[in-house]
Chain A
Amino acid sequence: MTDVLEVRNLHTRIDSASGVVHPLDGIDLTLKAGETFAIVGESGSGKSMTALSIMRLLPEPGWIERGEVNLDGHNILTLPEYRMRDVRGARIGMIFQEPATSLNPVLTCGEQIVEVLERHKIEEGPAARRRATEWLKRVGIPDPERRMDEYPFQLSGGMKQRVMIAVALAAEPQVLIADEPTTALDVTIQAQILDLLKSLQKERGMAMLLITHDLAVVAQMAHRVALMYAGEIVKIGPRDAFFAQPLHPYALKLFASLPGAGKRGEPLASIKGFVPPLHGQFTGCRFADRCDYAYDRCRKQAPAWHGPDPQHQARCHLLDPREEWRLAELLRREDDKVPEAADFAAPADAGDLLEVRDLKVHFPIRKGLLKKVVGQVKAVDGVSLSIRQGRTLALVGESGCGKTTAGKALLQLVPVTGGTVRFGGNEVLGLKGAELKRMRSRMQLVFQDPFGSLNPRMRVGEIIAEGMASFGIGANAQARNDRVAELLGQVGLAVESRYKYPHEFSGGQRQRIAIARALAANPQLIVCDEPTSALDVSVQAQILNLLKDLQKTLGVSFLFITHNIGVVEYLAHDVAVMYLGRIVESGTAEEVLNRPRHPYTQALLAAVPRLNTESKLPPLTSEVKEHLAADIPSPANPPAGCHFHTRCPLAVEACKAAYPAEVAVSATHKVRCIMVQPE
């Protein structure tokens, strides 16, 4: 294979208010034809900056200080800008994370592809249109003729990303840069997009630079992998070796911090400290402050590349052949460590804490001058579930299935249309005034976005104390102050944090503050709405550990709303799977995750990319994938009968007739599908 793209010693700088930042400090990599090369890293590692530097699309205050980007042996960094425009698109294509904003909303899909074809003089006029239609077909868009003249807003997220791929590939570039191409998509859609990228790459023999934070996606897609940390590549290797041998302490930690079924009960590995500021020269290893194995040499000398073979290398002194004794010593010490006993005995069944029956949240669609109700969005349409004392129920589903609305409805943050919610045996729906307040003090909420969930104009102490004051917890300001200090300690923050404002904290710390705020009311149930989805894996590990500890010490129950199956496998005692406003399957984690019965659950679990092939589930067949590829119907107009029949591989005529009744597979395992027989 020939080298198509070669990046050599690339240094990028960005001018910021706090001085010149060095987001890239000497990046070297090569990309061969027909190869997928993945760059993984946490936020701030410089992975996206690498892509933007190669494309020369840096944001305004940034510039490339030195280095080469050789495309077919020619350095494109020395090209004048007008020639660079011929390179972008024609020779290097790029797709971005957010399909919603990367397509131009006022041009039809067809026009966007035709524009690229005409710009790079590949086809003109009707021929270009024909070619564009062909491309839409190639990226798997059904009915391409019609879609040609549709605008991006008429397409679903997955469809948009397909169009985006067609735009990026229309000029047949040799290199495709995919920057987090599936991060904004649901797992079932993600699986399709990844497959599409894979097959297009194979078919066209192009090189692909995949940039992502998701190790599992990398494991599925890449031939070779580079791990970035603080502006440099710290480890590079062929995929299998990369995952089999961590080599670098950072990689070791990163792999160990991924939640999954295998790690149930054990605390996840977490990395202390933060990514260092990238303002200047580093004298030693960039990871030294956070590395458990750091020794004096690490702070004095930047590590060189070492490794078992020339393909698989890492920047760490421990791999230096001269330091072999040290590594051996470390490994021995590691072996001596007594592993913490796995502790995942679900607490004794103390009965149901929360009992939800037939919960409905319908949002009216109003039209016209008089705001007449013309329809209902059935965001939550008859959800029943129960949460037991001191346990965690995971509510799983893809975006738009109503899981967040269901969580908010429990706390009556959205108007509830119908159903009953019994908390500790008492009906809570319809409570007003003081009663409602009392109920709310026992159920609390942790939000997904750690940046939007804290008022930027209040000090941390005030944020935490606000709820207490409102619920009348704590006799006086002094007592509340003491409690704030205690809570901060409980979530692992310094007591002085209370005088700071939220913007002074990182995402993970903010999430800790949000958890402290929820705990302030002494709740029995905390609804966690995707609390870790905005965080890096190593930070996610810390938060998951914290939640688990809190459950153990305080005995709180969690309703964990998420789409991340790894987190569910790691944390949940019980699982409920939601599709278009309804629960399709529920049971203990063991039952639902290992023996899913509903076709949707099966598809969902199979679509999750995994690091290793630990899953006992068979992979999706292409026939099943084809069914799944259909658009997710709108909750305003759900399909009749079983909501899933439009995408279900097993659907028969009878499925459309009526919503399937609940089938109890076991005492706890319940499924709503006519094809499932009780055992």
Chain B
Amino acid sequence: MNFSPVLLITDVLLWLLVFAVVGYVWYVRRHEHLLVPWLKVRQNPVAMICATVLVAYAAIGLADSLHFRTASGAPGRSQTGVEVRSVLDVLLGAALGPMAGKSEKTYSAPLAIYSFAKETVEKPGGGQAREFPRLTVGGAHLKNPGDRDGDIAWRGALGLAKGLVLFAVLNGALALWVGRKGGGPALAARAMWRGTTPAPWRPILVTLLLICLMACPAVALGSHYHLFGTDKVGQDVLTISLKSIRTGLVIGTLTTMVMLPFAVLLGLAAGYFRGWVDDVIVYLYTSLSSIPSVLLIAAAVLIVQVSIDNHQDLFPTTLQRADMRLLALCVILGATGWTGLCRLLRGEALKLRELDYIQAAQAFGVARLRILTRHMLPNVMHLVTINAVMDFSGMVLAEAVLSYVGVGVDPTTNSFGGMINAARFEMSRDPLVWWLLAAAFFFMLGLVLAANLFADAVQEAFDPRRVVRRARPRIFQRGPVGGMTEAAEDPRAPGGRPA
């Protein structure tokens, strides 16, 4: 088999973003004033747990963003019929074997060995009967269907054990890395678990342990059963869910990237230049935010879709077409979602431009563009950072909503919104087809919750108005005088005004 890489636009952008983040980290490490708030984030255990989870998601998403084409005609093991595959597809193929991809005819419940729907089968002895047929691959290794429960328990336990081993290896590797600057791995490992390292390693390790204990049994079971069942056309829901992560990440990050230039440029320009520039920009964003955004987005998506359909020649494969539509969705979401941050930045710029150091720069004849980039921009970056992190989860959710409404990503693209949308039609079935919704919910909740909690931590660290108090039991610090319980009261309130 010979490979040739396939560059999808969103892949390129996503990887550029990764390099940008790496570059930013490198830059921050060299600038103390930028480093300080991030060190505060690092000290926050919740933030580090979330970061670990986010890294796991990002790893899956990025593995799914390396596409290549196997030479046509090669006997690909993939049964999806798509010749362009990603690294994740390969990994899933290796880990889940025949389970990955489309393997069944229609719905099947999680860990089932029988199909969800009755079929008419020919009886060996002649005649037909309607019964639940065995699945093609799910649980196919079982000779005797009665062995299912025992097999599941056994494989699950084996998976847990493998998880422990994997975690031990990971822990050792991390200890080696942490202890590389003196101390050695043994000491480092002990310090990490005791919580005496500067970064809170213990919560990170516990999170890693949990991830290992979930992932390994999932692989152990998922390679012989459909862990989350199959969907209407018989695809493995676990595979779909994992592949949806990339869509969520793309939407969450690229949209923000599209939005930031609008918001930052227009917001700063409006606040700094005032006058007619300000009038125009304010007019623009007030008008934009007074149109119901779902309608605006729906209209834009439909237009884009038509034009993609009219230029089939530009996008030879369905995958490229779907990818273009994903990118278009990001651009549309970004182009309509910049108003909030823009308004915020305009206010901040209005405040900043009156500050003495901006005036001093003017007195030095510093060019306007330089004032904007050198003096204003760095001083609003904390707002931008907070906003970008906060918007991420909002965008993931927005995609789900839009796909649900039917104007989201291409139907061939896996996405949480698409899964929910598909599940919607089956909610009235009896017995209930619940696993599609549950899987989408589980994976999306993990992503969004982690992103939100991380955003909180970032905000707390970057927002100078928030005083972060050290969490220590106050009871040991109070003197004989009962604490100043009224301290929350504004000390500037007129003396003695009743609270």
Q: Please measure, in the bound complex, the distance between the C-alpha atom of A164 and the C-alpha atom of B363, giving whole angstroms.
A: 40
B382-423 at interface with A (beta carbon < 8 Å): none
A62 touching B485, Cβ below 8 Å = no
B366 touching A470, Cβ below 8 Å = yes
Distance (whole angstroms) from the CB of A515 to the closest CB of chain B: 12
B495 touching A64, Cβ below 8 Å = no
Distance (whole angstroms) from the CB of B391 to the closest CB of chain A: 23
A81 contacts across to B, CB distance below 8 A = 482, 485-486
A63 touching B494, Cβ below 8 Å = no
A80 contacts across to B, CB distance below 8 A = 482
Is A476 close to B, CB under 8 A?
no
A445 contacts across to B, CB distance below 8 A = 359-360, 363
A452 touching B356, Cβ below 8 Å = yes
B355 contacts across to A, CB distance below 8 A = 452-453
Q: Please measure, in the bound complex, the distance between the C-alpha atom of A517 and the C-alpha atom of B359, giving whole angstroms.
A: 13
B496 touching A453, Cβ below 8 Å = no
Mostly helix, strand, loop or mixed at chain A's interface? mixed
Is B483 close to A, CB under 8 A?
yes
A55 touching B359, Cβ below 8 Å = no
A470 touching B499, Cβ below 8 Å = no
Distance (whole angstroms) from the CB of B1 to the closest CB of chain A: 53
Query: CB-nearest residue of chain B relative to A503?
Result: B33
B365 touching A457, Cβ below 8 Å = no
Distance (whole angstroms) from the CB of B43 to the closest CB of chain A: 11
Query: CB-nearest residue of chain A relative to B34?
Result: A457
Q: A85-B498, A164-B494 are in contact. Are A56 and B486 (CB under 8 A)?
A: yes
A227 contacts across to B, CB distance below 8 A = none
Distance (whole angstroms) from the CB of A8 to the closest CB of chain B: 13
Is B465 close to A, CB under 8 A?
no
A17 touching B470, Cβ below 8 Å = yes
Is B144 close to A, CB under 8 A?
no
Is A93 close to B, CB under 8 A?
yes
A78-137 at interface with B (beta carbon < 8 Å): 78, 80-81, 84-85, 87-90, 92-96, 98, 101-104, 112, 115-116, 119-120
B482 contacts across to A, CB distance below 8 A = 80-81
Q: A440-B363, A501-B33 are in contact. Are A455 and B379 (CB under 8 A)?
A: yes
Interface string of B461-495 (1 = CB under 8 A from A): 00000001110100001111111111111011111
Distance (whole angstroms) from the CB of B53 to the closest CB of chain A: 28
Interface string of A332-351 (1 = CB under 8 A from B): 00000000000000000000
Give the contacting residue for B498; candidates A58, A101, A103, A119; CB below 8 A.
Answer: A119
Is A221 close to B, CB under 8 A?
no
Is A428 close to B, CB under 8 A?
no
Q: Please measure, in the bound complex, the distance between the C-alpha atom of A65 and the C-alpha atom of B489, giving whole angstroms.
A: 20
A63 touching B481, Cβ below 8 Å = yes
B487 touching A59, Cβ below 8 Å = yes
A467 contacts across to B, CB distance below 8 A = 364-366
B492 touching A96, Cβ below 8 Å = yes
Is A77 close to B, CB under 8 A?
yes
Distance (whole angstroms) from the CB of B278 to the closest CB of chain A: 11
Is A60 close to B, CB under 8 A?
yes
B359 contacts across to A, CB distance below 8 A = 408, 413, 445, 447
A521 touching B364, Cβ below 8 Å = yes
A63 touching B479, Cβ below 8 Å = yes
A571 contacts across to B, CB distance below 8 A = none
Give the contacting residue for B496; candidates A11, A101, A120; CB below 8 A.
Answer: A120
Q: Please measure, in the bound complex, the distance between the C-alpha atom of A90 and the C-alpha atom of B494, giving whole angstroms.
A: 12
B497 touching A63, Cβ below 8 Å = no
A466 touching B361, Cβ below 8 Å = yes
Q: A77-B481, A447-B356 are in contact. Are A62 and B495 (CB under 8 A)?
A: no
Distance (whole angstroms) from the CB of B480 to the closest CB of chain A: 7
A413 touching B486, Cβ below 8 Å = no
Q: Please measure, in the bound complex, the distance between the C-alpha atom of A436 and the C-alpha atom of B365, giving whole angstroms.
A: 8
Is B195 close to A, CB under 8 A?
no
Count residues of B near A (Cβ-Cβ below 8 Å): 44
Give the contacting residue for B484; candidates A57, A93, A436; CB below 8 A.
Answer: A57
A21-68 at interface with B (beta carbon < 8 Å): 52, 55-66
A471 contacts across to B, CB distance below 8 A = 364-365
Is A383 close to B, CB under 8 A?
no
A535 contacts across to B, CB distance below 8 A = none
Is A171 close to B, CB under 8 A?
yes
B379 touching A89, Cβ below 8 Å = no
Query: CB-nearest residue of chain A relative to B468?
Result: A17
B430 contacts across to A, CB distance below 8 A = none
Give the contacting residue for B494; candidates A65, A102, A444; CB below 8 A.
Answer: A102
Q: Please measure, in the bound complex, the distance between the C-alpha atom of A56 and the C-alpha atom of B33, giving whole angstroms.
A: 36
Q: Please measure, in the bound complex, the distance between the C-alpha atom of A458 and the C-alpha atom of B378, giving whole angstroms.
A: 9
B365 contacts across to A, CB distance below 8 A = 436-437, 440-441, 467, 470-471
Distance (whole angstroms) from the CB of A570 to the closest CB of chain B: 24
B378 contacts across to A, CB distance below 8 A = 455, 457-458
Q: A56-B486, A168-B494 are in contact. Are A15 and B379 (CB under 8 A)?
A: no
B469 touching A115, Cβ below 8 Å = no
B489 contacts across to A, CB distance below 8 A = 57
A102 touching B492, Cβ below 8 Å = yes
Is A159 close to B, CB under 8 A?
no
Is A456 close to B, CB under 8 A?
yes
Q: Please measure, in the bound complex, the distance between the C-alpha atom of A64 and the C-alpha atom of B470, giving whole angstroms.
A: 19
Is B367 close to A, CB under 8 A?
yes
Distance (whole angstroms) from the CB of A48 to the closest CB of chain B: 10
Is B357 close to A, CB under 8 A?
yes
B374 contacts across to A, CB distance below 8 A = 455, 458, 466
Is B375 close to A, CB under 8 A?
yes
Q: Please measure, in the bound complex, the distance between the C-alpha atom of A317 and the C-alpha atom of B206, giving whole angstroms.
A: 59
Distance (whole angstroms) from the CB of B411 to the closest CB of chain A: 47
A60 touching B488, Cβ below 8 Å = yes
Is B362 close to A, CB under 8 A?
yes
B478 contacts across to A, CB distance below 8 A = 63
Is B32 close to A, CB under 8 A?
yes
Q: Please measure, in the bound complex, the distance between the C-alpha atom of A57 and the C-alpha atom of B487, giving whole angstroms.
A: 6
Is A395 close to B, CB under 8 A?
no
A413 touching B362, Cβ below 8 Å = yes
B364 touching A470, Cβ below 8 Å = yes
Q: A57-B489, A102-B493, A103-B494 are in contact. Are A453 and B469 (CB under 8 A)?
A: no
Query: CB-nearest residue of chain B relative to A520?
Result: B364
Q: A93-B496, A112-B494, A116-B494 are in contact. Are A457 and B33 (CB under 8 A)?
A: yes
Is A605 close to B, CB under 8 A?
no
B481 touching A58, Cβ below 8 Å = no
B379 contacts across to A, CB distance below 8 A = 455-457
Query: CB-nearest residue of chain B relative to A514?
Result: B360
Q: Please measure, in the bound complex, the distance between the C-alpha atom of A291 and the C-alpha atom of B118, giving whole angstroms.
A: 96
B367 touching A470, Cβ below 8 Å = yes
Query: CB-nearest residue of chain B relative to A517?
Result: B360
Is A354 close to B, CB under 8 A?
no
Q: Please measure, in the bound complex, the distance between the C-alpha atom of A84 and the C-alpha atom of B355, giving whole angstroms.
A: 42
A63 touching B356, Cβ below 8 Å = no
Q: Please measure, in the bound complex, the distance between the C-alpha atom of A62 and the C-alpha atom of B366, giving whole angstroms.
A: 45
Q: Please measure, in the bound complex, the distance between the C-alpha atom of A521 and the C-alpha atom of B488, giving whole angstroms.
A: 48
A119 touching B497, Cβ below 8 Å = yes
B375 contacts across to A, CB distance below 8 A = 455, 458
Distance (whole angstroms) from the CB of B34 to the closest CB of chain A: 8
| A interface, CB within 8 angstroms of B | 11, 13, 15, 17, 20, 52, 55-66, 77-78, 80-81, 84-85, 87-90, 92-96, 98, 101-104, 112, 115-116, 119-120, 164, 167-168, 171, 173, 177, 408, 411, 413, 436-437, 440-441, 443-445, 447-449, 452-458, 466-467, 470-471, 501, 503, 514, 517, 521
Q: Which 7 A-B residue pairs are closest in the complex by CB-CB distance? A: A89-B496, A94-B495, A453-B356, A88-B496, A457-B378, A467-B364, A437-B365
| B interface, CB within 8 angstroms of A | 32-33, 355-357, 359-367, 374-375, 378-379, 468-470, 472, 477-489, 491-499
For the A-B complex with A87-B496, A88-B496, A103-B494 known, give 6 more contacts whose Cβ atoms are closer than 8 Å: A92-B496, A101-B492, A168-B494, A413-B362, A455-B357, A521-B364
16 A–B contacts from the bound complex (CB under 8 Å): A17-B468, A59-B491, A60-B487, A64-B484, A65-B479, A66-B480, A85-B498, A98-B492, A173-B496, A177-B495, A413-B359, A437-B365, A445-B363, A453-B355, A470-B365, A514-B360
